[in-house]
Amino acid sequence: MGAKIPVTVVTGFLGAGKTTLIRHLLQNNQGRKIAVLVNEFGEVGIDGDLLRSCQVCDEEENSSNNIVELTNGCLCCTVQEEFFPTMQELLQRRDEIDCIVVETSGLALPKPLVQAFRWPQIRNGATVDGVVTVVDCEALASGALVGDLDALQAQRQADPNLEHETPIEELFEDQLACADLVLLTKADQVDSATREKVENWLQQELPAGVSILPCYDGQIHPDVLLGFNASVEENLDSRHSHHDHEEDHEHDEDINSVQLVLDEAFEPRPLMKRLQQLFQEAEIYRVKGFVNVPNKPMRLVVQGVGKHLESFYDRAWETDEPRQTRLVLIGQDLDEGNIKEKLMQVSPSPKAVSANSH
C-alpha cells in the first residue's frame, strides 16, 4: 500500500470565500490531481456547480468525477451517511489522486469531520494534512458575525468565563481553534488600522503558532494550502472546542435554508436591490446562486454575507441546461413564502418551478 493521501479541510463561516479559494486552487493546481468534496447546506448545488465551471475539469476525461457534492446536510452530522462511503470510493482511486480538498459548509464543526479520519477504514489510506480556516475581514470588522470587536474584547476581558455566547459565535471559535492556517479574505476592503485590529483580535483567539495570511480573491499559492504534514487526526485532542464533551451536537434549530428554482429571468439591479432589502427585513446570513438575466448569454452568480452582496458573470449557459434562476438563502427563522413573494415582485410575470425549505 502506498503513502496516505493528504487531505486539506477548508472551513470558515458563511460567505467567507471558501469556494473562491478552492476554485483558484483548481485553476492553479501545478499538475496536481486534486479531488474536491463539497458540502452544501440545502439542496441546490451552488458551490459544486461553481467549482465545475472553473474550466479545469474539462481538460481530462471523467475529471468532473473529482468534484463530489455532499448535499445531505452538514458534514459534521453526516460523516457516516455520506462522507464515509464517498471517502471509500475516493480511496479506491488513490492512484489517480494526489490530494483531497474538503470544503465544509459554513455551519460545519471541523473536529467531528477530522475525527472520522481515525476510523480504520479511512486512516490507513488518508490523513488530514491540515485545516485552513477562511475568515472574512470586512464582515468581522463590521461586526456582522461576532459583534463589535471592541465591545467583544471588553466583554471577554471583564468576564473570561462568559457563557452567553450564541451558537454562531461558538461555531466561529471552534473553526479557529482547529486551524493550522487562517486566511483573511477581503482585507483590501478595510483600512490598514482596521485590518491590524482584526488580525490582533484573531491572533488572541488562535492557538500558538497559527499564522494569519491575507488572501485576495482566493489567490494563494498552492504550496501554502497544501503540505502542512500536520496529521491533524493524531493530535486532535489538543485542539479544544466547545463541543469536546458532547456525545452529539445540534445546530441552532432555528437556522434554515430556503431554495428557489425559478423559470423567470431577472434584471440584476432590481434583484440585488430587493435582496438588500431582504437582508434588512430578515435574519439572513448568506445568499448564493445563479440568475438568468434577460438577453444575456452568460450566467450571473450572486453571493453575499451579511449586507455585503456581489454579482459577476462566470460562464455561458450550456445548450442543454435550463436557463433558470436558482437561489439559496440561509438564515434564522426564514419564511419561505414571504421571501418568495418579495423576490417575485421584482419580475412582472414570475413562474416558480419549485421552492422548498430545509
Name residues whose C-beta falls within 8 Å of residue 174's C-beta, 6 or more positions apart in sequence: 109, 110, 111, 241, 242, 243
Q: In the chain, which segments carry CATH 3.40.50.300?
A: 5-238
Return the pLDDT at 153: 53
Report the alpha-carbon distance of residue 186 to residue 110 in Å, rounded.
23
Residue 247 neighbours by CB under 8 Å, 6+ apart: none
> Which pLDDT value is given to residue 298?
92
Residue 158: predicted pLDDT: 56
**Torsion sign over Cα 333, 337, 338, 344:** positive
Task: Give the cell for residue 36.
Answer: 474536491
Model pTM score: 0.65
| Top-confidence residue, 192 or 349 | 192
Hey, which bits of 163-271 come out as E strands?
A: 181-185, 211-215, 255-262
Locate CATH 3.30.1220.10 in the chain.
Answer: 255-357
**Which range has the top average pLDDT, 138-142, 165-169, 336-340?**
336-340
Q: What is the mean pLDDT of residues 350-356?
A: 44
> What is the DSSP pairing of strand 126-136 with strand 5-12?
parallel
Secondary structure of 25-39 in the HEC alphabet?
HHHCCCCCCEEEEEE
Question: Cβ of 39: how many Cβ atoms within 10 Å?
Answer: 28
Within a 13 Å sphere around the CA of 8, how many CA atoms are in the beta-carbon half? Answer: 24
212 vs 258 pLDDT, higher one: 212
Mean pLDDT across the stretch 140-152? 59
Of residues 321 and 167, more confidently modeled:
321
Q: How many residues does the chain have?
A: 358
State how far the alpha carbon of 60 is from the alpha carbons of 5, 31, 57, in Å: 20, 12, 6
60 pLDDT above the threshold of 70:
no
Q: If we measure between CA atoms, which residue out of 275, 284, 285 comes closest to residue 325? A: 275
Closest CA to 66 of 74, 56, 76, 79: 56
- CA dist., res. 10 & res. 288, Å (int): 18
Is residue 267 pLDDT above 50, yes or no?
yes
Contacts of 131 (CB under 8 A, 6+ apart): 8, 9, 11, 110, 114, 178, 179, 180, 181, 230, 232
How much is the average pLDDT of 14-39? 84
Q: Report the alpha-carbon distance of residue 297 to residue 119 in Å, rounded.
A: 47
Among 185, 9, 142, residue whose Cα is nearest residue 83: 9
- 255-357 has which CATH code? 3.30.1220.10
Taking residues 105-134, report their average pLDDT.
Answer: 86
pLDDT digits (tens, 9 = 90+) for 152-166: 455 445 544 444 344
Instruction: Give me the pLDDT at residue 145, please.
Output: 58
Q: How confident is the model at residue 331 (pLDDT cuts 50, 70, 90)?
A: confident
Tell me the CA end-to-end span of the chain in Å, nearest whole number: 42
| Side chain identity at residue 340, one-letter code | K
Q: Is the pLDDT of residue 253 over 50?
A: yes
CATH class as words, domain 5-238: alpha beta
Check pLDDT > 50 for residue 103. yes
pLDDT at 59: 43
Q: What is the mean pLDDT of residues 47-63?
A: 52
> If we measure between CA atoms, which residue out of 159, 7, 21 comes closest to residue 97?
7
Per-residue confidence (pLDDT) for residue 294, from 0 to 100: 92
User: Which carries the bigger pLDDT value, residue 77 or residue 179?
Assistant: 179
The 10s digit of each residue's pLDDT in 269-279 is 999 999 988 88
